Amino acid sequence: MAGKQSLVVIFPFPLQGHIKPLLCLAELLCHAGFHVTFVNTHHNHKRLANPEALSTHFPTLHFESISDGLPDDHPRALNGELLIALKTSIRPHFRELLETISIKAESNDAPAPPLNCIITDGLVTFAFDLAEELEIPVLSYNVPCARYLWTCLCLPDLIEQGQLPFPDDDMSVEITGVSGMDGPLHRQDLPSFCRVKQANHPALQFAINWTQAQRRASALILDTVYELDASCLSHMALMFPKIYTLGPLHALLNAQIGNVSKSLASHGGLWKSDPNCMTWLDSQPSRSVIYVSFGTLVNLTRAQMIEFWYGLVNSGHPFMWVIRSDIIYGAHQIPAELEIGTKERGYIVDWVSQEEVLAHKAVGGFLTHSGWNSTLESIVAGLPMICWPNLGDHYIISRTVSQKWKIGLQLNEICDRCNIETMIQTLMGPKREEIQSSIDTISKLARDSVVKGGSSHNNLEQLIEYIRSLQH
C-alpha cells in the first residue's frame, strides 16, 4: 500500500471477548500497511500466547502493556473492581503511554510514524477524554451487537416515557420507542440491568453514560453485517455520521489473509486450547454433536450446572462442553449417576479453539449464552443455536436469533433439565431442516459481505481511507 506510514493505537477493554476481535482489527490494519500499537494490561499480556513471536511475525505490530493495579490472583470479571481499576490505574498509565507513544513505537532505529488515531474499545470511555486533551482523533470499536448499542442509546427516552424502570414484574410487556428492531421488543429482551427499581441505579446509569459517550468518537466501528442490522443502523446513522460495519470481523480477516491458524487473533486466547478435542470430534458421526459454551464471563450456580448436565446426557446426543475453570465458584463434580452417560457421550474441556470446533463436520448445534462473538462465529459456520441468554446484549441477540432470523431456539431463563433435553432433541431432530435452511441463508449473507464487493469488505476499505485522511 502506497502512502506515508502511520500509527494507530488500539486499546481493548481488558477481557477476552474484547481482545480477540480487536486483534482481528489490528491485523487487518497491519495488513493494510499501518503500524499498530496494541495495548493490553500486564495481566492479559502475560496470558497471550507468545506475544514476542507475534511481534516478529507482524513487524509493524507493537505490543504495550500497562498495569491495572489489581493483585495477580484477582479474577478480573466484568465488575465494579475492574471498572474502578480502569479509572484509577489504567487511565493514568494509558495517558502516560500516549504521551510517549511515538518514542515507544520506534523500531530498528527507524523513526516512528506519526500517530493517526486511537481506536478505543467503546467501553473504555476515558479514552475519549484523553484523546480530546491530547488532540488525537479517536474512533470507537464496540464489541456488543448493534441492536444492543442502539437500545442502550434509547434508554434515556424510555426513562422519560416512564417505561423504565419497569413499573411491575411482567416481563412480557411490549416496549415501545426503540425503532428499527424488526418487530416488537419486550421487557425480557432488554438487558438485565433494566430490571432495577430506580432510574439512578449505577448499572443503568453506567450503560447510559457509556453509550452516550460514543457520540464523542469521530467514527463508530461495529462487528456486524450491514444487511443483518440495516433497520437499526439506519436509525443510528442519524446520530453517528460515520459508522463502519466490518462484521463478521473474524471472517473478514480470514477472507483477507487466507490462513486463520497463523493469524494474530488465533493467538489471542487467554486460556490454553485443548489439543485433543478435534480428535474426539473426528470420531463422532456427522452433525451429531451439540457443542456447549457459555463464553468467557457467565457464571453458573451449582444447581444450574446439574440441570445442564442432566439435560445434555439425557438428550442422548454426543456433547462437547467447555467448562471454564472459573465458571462456578469452587470445584465441579460429575453427578455420580451421570458418570456413565458423560463417559459414553460427553467430552468436557477447559477451553477450545471455538472457531475450529464450530467448523467441524461432527458438530450439529451450539448451546450458547448468546455472546455476540459466539453468535457471529456460529452464523459463519452455519450452525443452528440454542440460546440461553444471561447478561448484557445476550437477551436481544437471543431474541433476534430465535424470532427474527429464526436460526435458533431460545431456552427460557429457568434452567430445567427436561426443557434442556427437549430443546436439544428438537434442534437436532424435527426443527433441524427448517432452522438449517434459515441459517444457511444468513450464513451466506455474512460470508458474502466479507469478500470483494461485499458491504464489510467495502467498509474496511473506506475505514482505511478515513484513518489515512487523519494524518497530520
Residue 21 CA, chain-centre distance (Å), reads 7
Are the C-beta atoms of residues 360 and 397 closer than 8 Å to each other? no
Are the C-beta atoms of residues 265 and 58 closer than 8 Å to each other? no
Q: Measured from the CB atom, is 163 or 368 closer to ligand UDP? A: 368
Site for ligand UDP in 252-291 (CB under 6 A): 269
Can you tell me which of 22, 377, 389, 460 binds ligand UDP, judged by CB under 6 A?
Answer: 377
Which letter does DSSP use for residue 452 in this model? T
How far apart, in whole angstroms, are the C-alpha atoms of residue 216 and residue 136? 12
Annotation marks residue 72 as catalytic: no
Q: Measured from the CB atom, is 22 or 39 closer to ligand UDP? A: 22
Interaction pattern, residues 330-369, with ligand UDP; x per rule: CB under 6 A: ---------------------xxxxx--------------
Point out the catalytic residue in the list 35, 62, 68, 121.
121
**Is residue 322 near ligand UDP by the rule CB under 6 A?**
yes
Give the shortest CB-358-to-ligand UDP separation in angstroms.
8
Are the C-beta atoms of residues 390 and 309 closer than 8 Å to each other? no
Overall residue count recorded for the chain in this entry: 472
Q: Take residue 71 and report the three cell numbers written for it.
A: 493483585
Give the shortest CB-452-to-ligand UDP separation in angstroms.
25
SS3 content of the chain, % helix, strand, coil (to 5): 50, 15, 40
* Residue whose C-alpha is closest to residue 15's, from 372, 410, 260: 372
How far apart, in whole angstroms, are the C-alpha atoms of residue 157 and residue 239? 14
**Is residue 295 near ligand UDP by the rule CB under 6 A?**
yes
Annotation marks residue 121 as catalytic: yes
Site for ligand UDP in 20-49 (CB under 6 A): 20
Rg (alpha carbons) of the chain, rounded to whole number: 22
Give the shortest CB-28-to-ligand UDP separation in angstroms.
16
Are the C-beta atoms of residues 443 and 225 closer than 8 Å to each other? no
Can you tell me which of 141, 310, 372, 388 binds ligand UDP, judged by CB under 6 A?
Answer: 372
Q: Measured from the CB atom, is 150 or 351 closer to ligand UDP? A: 351
**Is residue 307 near ligand UDP by the rule CB under 6 A?**
no
Q: Measured from the CB atom, is 211 or 374 closer to ligand UDP? A: 374
Give the shortest CB-166-to-ligand UDP separation in angstroms.
25
- Output phi, psi for 148, to 5 deg: -70, -45
**CA-based max dimension of the chain:** 68
Q: Take residue 63 and report the three cell numbers written for it.
A: 505490543
Q: Measured from the CB atom, is 345 or 369 closer to ligand UDP? A: 369
Q: Take residue 99 and report the three cell numbers written for it.
A: 504521551
Q: Measured from the CB atom, is 16 or 315 closer to ligand UDP? A: 16
List interacting residues with ligand UDP (CB under 6 A). Answer: 16-17, 20, 269, 293, 295-297, 322, 351-355, 371-374, 377
The residues annotated with a catalytic role in the active site are 18, 121
